[in-house]
Amino acid sequence: MSGRRRKPEKRRTERAIETDIRIALGKACIPCWKHHVDNRQLHTGLGIGVADLICVVPPHGRFLALEVKRPDKLHTVTRVQQIWLGIIERSGGVACVVTTVEEALAAVDRAR
């Protein structure tokens, strides 16, 4: 067996899960942007609470927001993140918390 061994899903970092999701979305031809949080909470960018990944799902350009969490950290979705995800849903987009590539691709299917 060559290459690196993947950590069990529960032990993988959020960043590693997010990277796998971004690769899968790219292969599925889903435009996706990473939202970088400024921990100094400056008034720049999209602001605090915005989902980790912002996508536009073809063929109709539906907005998709993905908040990426480790499976053992689902309880860490903040109130501000919940509010932001709710705004997207109420506005006709799709917004959800995902922990795997499969969940992210299921969200894409929902957005189509």
Residue 110, phi then psi, degrees to nearest 5: -60, -35
* 2 within some domain: no
Q: Please report the pLDDT score of residue 47 as a whole number.
A: 78
Q: 2 or 91: which carries more pLDDT confidence?
A: 91
Q: How far apart are CA 104 and CA 87, in angstroms?
A: 19
* 58 within some domain: yes
Residue range of the domain that includes 59 = 9-111
Q: What is the pLDDT of residues 9-46, one digit of tens each?
A: 558 999 999 999 999 999 999 999 998 766 555 556 67
Q: How far apart are CA 26 and CA 4, in angstroms?
A: 22
11, 92 contact by CB (below 8 A): no
* 3 within some domain: no
Q: Please report the pLDDT score of residue 36 as a whole number.
A: 79
Mean pLDDT of the chain: 89
User: Domain holding 34: CATH number?
Assistant: 3.40.1350.10
Q: How far apart are CA 68 and CA 15, in angstroms?
A: 8
Q: Please report the pLDDT score of residue 40 as a whole number.
A: 59
The pTM for the full model equals 0.85
Q: How far apart are CA 49 and CA 87, in angstroms?
A: 11
* 106 within some domain: yes
E strand or H helix that includes residue 89: helix 79-90
- How many domains does the structure of the chain reveal? 1
